[in-house]
Chain A
Amino acid sequence: MDLKLQIFFIAFALVFLTVVLRYLVIKKFNLKYALVWLLTATVLLVLAIFPKLAIWAAGLIGIQLPVNAIFLFAILFAFIIILTLTAIVSHMNKRVYRITQMQAILEKRVRELEEKIAESGKNDSD
C-alpha cells in the first residue's frame, strides 16, 4: 500500500477512535450502542498499521488491491451499524409507545383524583 494512503488511514482511524472515545467519556454515547463503532475504529486502525493483514484478507477473498479490501470492510461495518440502529430504533419506538400510553392513563387518574379532592373540599366548606 502507498505510504501516503497508509498515513491517511492511520490518521483517519485515530481521529475516528478519539471522537468515539470522547463522546463516550462526556456521556454523549451510550456504551451499549457505541461498541460497534469502537470495534470498527479499532479494526480500521489495525488494518492501517499492518497493511499486510489487509493484503492477506484481500487475497483470501480474491481482491487484487488491498485498499479495496479496506473499503469493503468499511462498507460491511457500515451495514452492521445501520442494522443495529434499525433494531435500536424499533426497540425505542416500542418503549415510547408504552410510555405515551401509560402517561395518558396516569394523567386520567390524576385528573380524576384532583376532581375528587376539589369536590370533597367543597363539601367540607359547606
Chain B
Amino acid sequence: MKVLVIIPAYNESENIEKVVDDLIENYPQYDYVVINDCSTDNTEEILVKRGYNYISLPANLGIGGAVQSGYIYAWENGYDVAVQTDGDGQHDPAYIKDLIAPIEAGEADMTIGSRFIEKKGFQTSFMRRLGIGFIRVVIRLTCGTRATDTTSGFRATNKELTAYFAKEYAQDYPEPEAIVAASLNGFRVRDVAVRMREREGGVSSINALRSVYYMIKVSLALLILRLGTRKKKKKKTKEVS
C-alpha cells in the first residue's frame, strides 16, 4: 500500500517543520507532500531549505483548492491511499494507521478522524462543537451518513475516491461537502476515533466572526449538492471471513 500524506500549509512557518520532521523521522513508511497555498510568510523558504517534498501554488486557492492539488498529485503518482492532515500539528500521525486500516481492509472508501468518539484529547470550544453538531444533523439529513467530527480535516481516501476528488472538490469549506459528495456518489464513509491536539501556533482558518456565514454557506452547499446528485446505491461491504 502506497500511502501519501497531504499537508496543506498556509502561513504555517511556525509549525510546518515540526509536523514534517515528525512524519519523516517516525513514519518513514508514508510518503508526504506539503501544499504551500501561496503563503505570505516564509513557509516556502523553509520548504526549500529543508529539502521537503512540496508543491507550491502560484496563487492562493484556499484549503479546498490546496487539498485538491494533493489529491491530483496522489492520483497522478498512483497512491493507494491519500491521507489529509493539517499543517498546524493538531493531527497526530500515530492515528494514520487507524485511518487507513478500514480502507486497506476494503471496508470503507473514506475514513474521517473523529475526536468525539473517545472524547479524549482536545475537544475544541463549545461554540465550535455546536457548529460541528449542527453540520452533523445537516449531513445526516442530506445523505444519511453518520459522521461525528464533520469539519475534521484528518481523513483518508482510497484510490477511487482520490480520483473523484482530483476531479471534483469543494473550494471554500470543503470538509463537510466532501463527506456528502462522497456519500451521494456511492462511496462508503466511516468514522474513526482519533485524538487531536490543540494547535500550537498560527491562526485557524475559521474565526468566530465568520462562523455564521460558514454555517449558512455549508448548509446551503450541502442542500444544493443533495438536489444535484441522485443518490447511488452504496457498495456492499466486503464480508470479512
Contacts and interface: CB of A to CB of B under 8 A. Distances in A.
Interface of A: 96-97, 100-105, 107-108
15 contacts: A97-B65, A100-B58, A100-B65, A101-B57, A101-B65, A101-B68, A103-B58, A104-B35, A104-B58, A105-B69, A105-B72, A107-B55, A108-B54, A108-B56, A108-B73
A interface: dominant SS: helix
Interface residues of B, number: 15
Interface in B142-197: 171
A100 B55 contact: no
Sorted from nearest, which 8 A-B pairs have the closest CB atoms? A101-B69, A104-B57, A104-B55, A100-B59, A97-B65, A108-B55, A100-B57, A103-B58
B43 to A, nearest CB: 14
Nearest to B56: A104
Nearest to A96: B59
B171 A105 contact: no
Given A97-B171, A100-B58, A101-B69, 20 more contacts: A97-B65, A97-B68, A100-B65, A101-B57, A101-B61, A101-B65, A101-B72, A103-B58, A104-B35, A104-B55, A104-B56, A104-B57, A104-B58, A104-B69, A105-B55, A105-B69, A105-B73, A107-B56, A107-B58, A108-B73
